[in-house]
Amino acid sequence: MVAAEKQKIAEFLDIAGDFLGSGYRSEPKEYQFNDEVSSPAKNGSDSLEQIAAEVKACRNCSLCQKRLNAAPGEGVNQPLVMVIGEGPGEDEDKQGRPFVGKAGQLLDKMLDSIGLSRAQNCFIANVVKCRPPGNRDPFPEETQSCAGFLDRQITLLKPRFILIAGRIAAQTLLKTSEPVGKLRGRFIDIENNGVKIPAIATYHPAALLRNEDYKRPAWEDLKLLKSRIDN
């Protein structure tokens, strides 16, 4: 439940209390609520299947209102590389799977060029699990609502490396406002539960489809990742 929803419930309860008490409306109160985020199961039985089920049932932000299918993520357990993008598009929303449209097909080719595959040694996910309307950029409160899911996935998967695809994912994961052009070409550690995971950011495959000038630097990033894996 998001903070705005909690505020509305609190206001309703205040009005009901005033009516049952004095019969007069008291001065409205401002509460400091926080959005709820997903957290691991307390009994230690967290799993990718459980996270996927929670994602599909999630109503923590407004993205749930127009989605057809949430896309929790897919790939192998204990992947060599975890690929993290922005969010589902139209094709992903229809299928409930990440990176299955034209950009996803290009991503598969990019991964294959350095010996990677979602079927063999990768897991693919996004910072938001539901499609933003019109493929707009997700709002900060939407990425925050999904942050717990992604954090739990990283904890369970324990990837050796993370490949970050695109501006939104890079700025969210690296907690920066720098553009991808300034973040790419180097490894930056992402800390997850005390474990540092080497991550490299590059241009989103959709950006490569729009602008061929990004293809060469993206290829350089992939070669850098391949070199780090081999070493």
18 and 52 together in one domain:
no
Is residue 97 within 8 A of residue 74, CB to CB? The reply is yes
Q: Which domain holds residue 30?
A: 1-34
142 and 174 together in one domain:
yes
6 and 70 together in one domain:
no
For residue 97, the number of C-alpha atoms closer than 13 Å in the C-beta half-sphere is: 12
187 and 88 together in one domain:
yes
119 and 10 together in one domain:
no
**pTM to 2 decimals?**
0.82
Please state the domain count of the chain.
Answer: 2
16 and 125 together in one domain:
no
pLDDT higher than threshold 60 for residue 31: no
The percent of residues above 90 in pLDDT, for the chain, comes to 80
CA distances from 169 to 10, 125, 140, 184, 218 (A): 34, 10, 11, 12, 15
> What is residue 221's predicted lDDT score, i.e. its pLDDT?
98
61: domain CATH number?
Answer: 3.40.470.10
Which among 112, 84, 97 is positioned nearest to 56, based on CA atoms?
A: 97
105 and 27 together in one domain:
no
| CB contact set of 67 (below 8 Å; sequence gap of 6+) | 88, 93, 130, 131
The DSSP 8-state label assigned to residue 131 in this structure reads P
**pLDDT tens-digit series, residues 59-71:** 999 999 999 999 9
Is residue 171 within 8 A of residue 178, CB to CB? The reply is yes
